[in-house]
Every structure is written in C-alpha cells, then in structure tokens.
Amino acid sequence: MTAPGRFAGVGLGPGDPELVTLKAARLIAAADVVAYHAGVGKESNARRTAADLIPAGALEEELRYPVTTGGTDHPGGYAGAMADFYAEAAERLAAHLAAGRDVVLLAEGDPLFYGSFMHMHDRLAHRFETQIVPGVPAFAAAAAAAATPLVRQTDVLTVLPGTLPEPELARRLADSDGAVVMKLGRTFPAVRRALAAAGRLDDAVYVERASMPGERRLPVAEVDPGTVPYFSLVVVPGDSRHGRGRRDAPAPDPVTTAPGEVLVVGLGPGPDRWLTAEVAEALAEVDHVVGYGPYVARVPARAGLTRHASGNTVEVDRARLALDLARGGERVAVVSGGDAGVFGMAAAVYEALDDPAGEGRWDDVEVRVLPGVSAVQAVAARAGAPVGGDFAVLSLSDRLKPWEVVEERLRLVARADLVCAVYNPASRSRTWQVARAREVLLEELPAGTVVVVGRDVGRAEESLTVTTLGDLDPGTIDMKCLLLVGARGTRVSARGAVWTSRAVPVR
C-alpha cells in the first residue's frame, strides 16, 4: 500500500516574497502538489507571492471560491455555498494525499489568522499527517509600513474585523489600547465612523497592500472610501490612547486638585427607550464611565469618553476608582443596571466614602444619584399591577449577608402579607437558594399564591410566566430572572393580568 502524503499549511506573509520564511520556502520546493485559493475572476495572491518557489514538476491545485461578496443562488445562501466549496476542495486535496503525494497549501499572511487554510485543516488534519508554518501577518507589515508602535509595555492589542456592527466596533475601539481593523473594502465607511465615535480617528493609519507593489498609507480621515480594496487595514497605535510618542502632542497637564463630581446613574433594565432623559444627558457630558462590564458596554462610545469596565464582585473598588478620578477634577459616571439605588452602585459609592481607610481622601468630591427604571417596575408593568399595594424587595444573594438572614426576612415578609420582589434568585454559582426560598415561603403561604417570573424583560429574549408558588420550578430560574411573589390580595384577571388589590382585608 502507498503511504499517505503529508499535508502542510504554509504562511507566505503579507505579499513580499522576501518575507517568506526559509522553512516555508523549503517545504514549497519539495512539494508534490502546491494548492492555493483564488478569488472569483482574480489571480491568486498566494500563488503570485510563491511563484519563484514552486518546483517545475509540481502539480498545482487552484481552489477558486464560488462567491466572495455574499450574493449567490445556492439554496443554502452564502454559508451553504462556501461549505460545499470547502468540502469539495478538501476532497481534492485528500485524493492527492491518499495517493502518497505531499501537499502544500499556500496561505496569505499566517495560516491560522483569518485564513481559509483553517477550513482545510478542520477537514484533513485528523486524516493525514499535518504541519503548519507560521507567516508574517498582514497587520505586522502594516504597522511597519506605518512606522508606528502598535503596543508597548502593558498595552493590549485588539484585532477587529470591520464587519462587526458599527456600535460594537466603536465600543471595542474606545476600550482598546492598540487596535487593528481588518476586512475593509465595503465596510470602510462604517469603520471610519466607528473610529470617530471612539475618539480614535485622528491617530488611525490606513495601510493598503502592505509590503506589496502599490503599497499606500495615509491617515484614515483622508481616505476616499471608493478606493479601498480588500487588501487594506487600519492601524490604531496604542500610543494614541495614552498620549505617548506623538511629536505634536502637548505635554500632559499636571494633575489638578479641583474637585469633581461622581454621578451614580441607573441605566434601566435594558432597552434604550427606558433610559431617562436626565441620565442620557449626564452620560453625554462625563469624561469617564465606571461600572460592571455589561453595563459599561451599554454606554455608547464617543470621542473624549474613557470607559472603565470591571467584574461583578468588586463594587467598592469601582467606587474608589470613580472617586479618585473625580478628585482629580474629572467628570465621572458610575453606572448600574435598573436603578442605581436598588441593589446597585449607589450604596457601594457611599460605602467607599464612609470607609475609615479613606477618611478625608474624597472630602471635596460631590456624589449625586440619578434614578433609573428598576427591574421590579419593569416586570410589574409587564404583568399588570402586582405591586399596586404594599410590597417588599429582597435579594437572595448571600454574598454580603448570611443565608439565615435571607430566610428570616422571607418569613417576615410572607407573614406581613406583602408582595415580594425577589432579586438575584440564582446565578452560576448559586443554584440552590431559589429552591430553598420556595420551601420557606410554602411554610408561610398557600401553594396557590400567584408568582410572576420575568426574564430579560425589555430585551429581545423577554419572557413573562405567571404561575403559583406550588407549581414554581426552581430549575427554570436563572440570573436573568426577577420573581414577584404575590400577597393574599394578588389575583389574575380573566385577561391574564396580575394585580394586587389596594384594599387589605382585616385579618
């Protein structure tokens, strides 16, 4: 039997033949079959780069894409057409490998960086001996052409496809140190708008055909969108975010001691239409936004705004950061979902202010809390009027209070015949509390007590379930839910609305 051939994915670098590595050149020169991708009606750039390295006796396999712009009459659309193409191309190469021929697949840039080689690797590497030769990625050549440092020291480099939705691209650019935006062409106008919204346009450099004949580089703001080819990208130097390395950049101002202000704001439960006008105006004026990552992401990126995102259990650390920024004269907003005063960041900010360790540190910093639409209001409105009478609001999280306290409060609320809004019923690490809470409430309330489960209210995935305490399934409750447990006067109307009578009967 003939021993199978070996498969190699070889990175050629950005296009200059002199940037092909010695290892890549050696494998190409020894190949029985040299394969390469080509666009519709176009010469293969990979083949052109490696032309002088391909041995005269090698077989060549051109893998021509059936479509490159997304338009196709394939029944599966663009994705279906490409899936069929990759499957057919893989079988063509597999036939050579099975016959004992060594196959080298040429890849522009690096084989594992936005490359078509990966589709062949997925289909062939488990069947044939495979190796991968890295290549100089296009963004490295572009940074060299722009003669600008991408990142240094502790900077973080972010590589972004220009095909991202414009608001998401702007958000990521605003939050990045150094950045590279790939996949331009038709996406260029949206990329430029995103750079402007993120305050990164002035320092962004456009590089076209890096290392190839016809290389061109100029400020992104000066590029004619109609001239942008696929072989182009944008380099956003990390220095531009930190004011380093620019000859025309003014010397940094000394830290001012003028007192600033911290605004603690509620963003509402989710949709932009539930953001109050007061909060929207405040966010348009501040220099910094501080908060839990998903909430910070909801604040649109814009020039002059720095966003400070952090994890879910460092509320007081976030508060201290905001207070320190304000002490330096900065305008700062601390953001919460829903209302900042309901299990939100407002209490954490005052906790930091009241910490003896920070005594006197923020005496000149003003703190102002701006209200937002709370989750309990949103779920109640969707259900009808379940909190039309007296009600209580509790959290099942036992991170900052003992579970025994949670149970005691649940019993007291039930005995007081109050509607109970339950925040934080479950999370990835807290899965048993909601089941235990149901057991505690059933010891005090009838099994037929009305319960409303609101999940992702205000978002596209919104759902609202009306059930009873006896039928409530704890396994269906997660961190996206808020529960409303009714009182004796809570009922469900013939139309399905949940409401609580304003009149409380004498016991």
> What would the pLDDT profile of 299-350 be if each residue is shown by its tens digit?
888 878 888 888 777 899 999 999 999 998 899 999 999 999 999 999 999 9
| Fold classification of 139-242 (topology level) | 3.30.950
**CATH 3.30.950.10 residue ranges for the chain:** 139-242, 376-500
Q: Are 481 and 475 in contact (CB under 8 A)?
A: no
Please check the confidence at residue 256 and state whether its pLDDT lies above 70.
Answer: no
**Cβ contacts of 505 within 8 Å, gap of 6 or more:** 488, 489
Three state DSSP letters for 130-195:
EEEECCCCHHHHHHHHHCCCCCCCCCCEEEEECCCCHHHHHHHHHHCCEEEEECCHHHHHHHHHHH
Q: What is the pLDDT of residue 140?
A: 94
Q: Are 396 and 433 in contact (CB under 8 A)?
A: yes
Model confidence band, residue 238 (pLDDT cutoffs 50, 70, 90): confident
Please check the confidence at residue 254 and state whether its pLDDT lies above 50.
Answer: no
pLDDT, average across residues 465-488? 94
Choices 3.20.20.10, 1.10.3330.10, 3.30.950.10, 3.30.565.10: CATH for 376-500: 3.30.950.10
CA–CA separation, 18 and 52 (whole Å): 11
- Cβ atoms within 10 Å of 290's Cβ, excluding its own: 29
Please check the confidence at residue 114 and state whether its pLDDT lies above 70.
Answer: yes
Please check the confidence at residue 250 and state whether its pLDDT lies above 80.
Answer: no
Three state DSSP letters for 386-444:
CCCCCEEEEECCCCCCCHHHHHHHHHHHHHCCCEEEEECCCCCCCCCHHHHHHHHHHCC
Beta bridge partners, 450, equal 468
At 264 the three-state DSSP class reads strand
Choices 1.10.150.120, 3.40.1010.10, 3.40.50.1370, 3.40.640.10: CATH for 7-135: 3.40.1010.10
> What would the pLDDT profile of 125-169 be if each residue is shown by its tens digit?
999 999 999 999 999 999 999 888 889 888 899 999 999 988 888
Please name the helix (run of DSSP H) or strand (run of DSSP E) that holds residue 350, with its range, or none: helix 345-354
Compute the chain's Rg from CA coordinates: 30
Q: In the predicted model, what is the mean pLDDT of the chain?
A: 90
pLDDT, average across residues 355-378? 89
Query: Angle at CA 138, nearest 5°, toward 136 and 141?
Result: 75
Choices 3.90.650.10, 1.20.1630.10, 3.40.1010.10, 3.30.499.10: CATH for 261-373: 3.40.1010.10
pLDDT, average across residues 179-191? 92
CA–CA separation, 118 and 82 (whole Å): 13
> Terminus-to-terminus CA distance in the chain, angstroms?
92
DSSP code for 13: B
Model confidence band, residue 258 (pLDDT cutoffs 50, 70, 90): very low
Q: Are 386 and 415 in contact (CB under 8 A)?
A: no
CA–CA separation, 167 and 302 (whole Å): 10
Distances (CA, A) of 190 to 164, 181, 270: 9, 12, 25
Residue with tokens 């080298």: 104
Q: What is the pLDDT of residue 309?
A: 84
> What would the pLDDT profile of 276-301 be if each residue is shown by its tens digit?
999 999 999 999 999 988 898 888 88
Q: Are 469 and 485 in contact (CB under 8 A)?
A: yes
At 377 the three-state DSSP class reads helix
Interstrand relation of 490-492 and 498-500 (parallel, antiparallel or unpaired) = antiparallel
**CATH 3.40.1010.10 residue ranges for the chain:** 7-135, 261-373
pLDDT, average across residues 238-243? 68
> What would the pLDDT profile of 116-134 be if each residue is shown by its tens digit?
999 999 999 999 999 999 9
Q: What is the pLDDT of residue 252?
A: 39
CB crowding 383-422: b at 16 or more within 10 Å, else e: bbbbbbbebbbbbbbeeeeeeeebbebbeebbeebbbbbb
Interstrand relation of 288-292 and 306-310 (parallel, antiparallel or unpaired) = parallel
CA–CA separation, 468 and 464 (whole Å): 13
> What would the pLDDT profile of 6-48 be if each residue is shown by its tens digit?
999 999 999 999 999 999 999 999 999 999 999 888 899 999 9
Report helix angle 117-124 to 77-98, nearest 10: 60
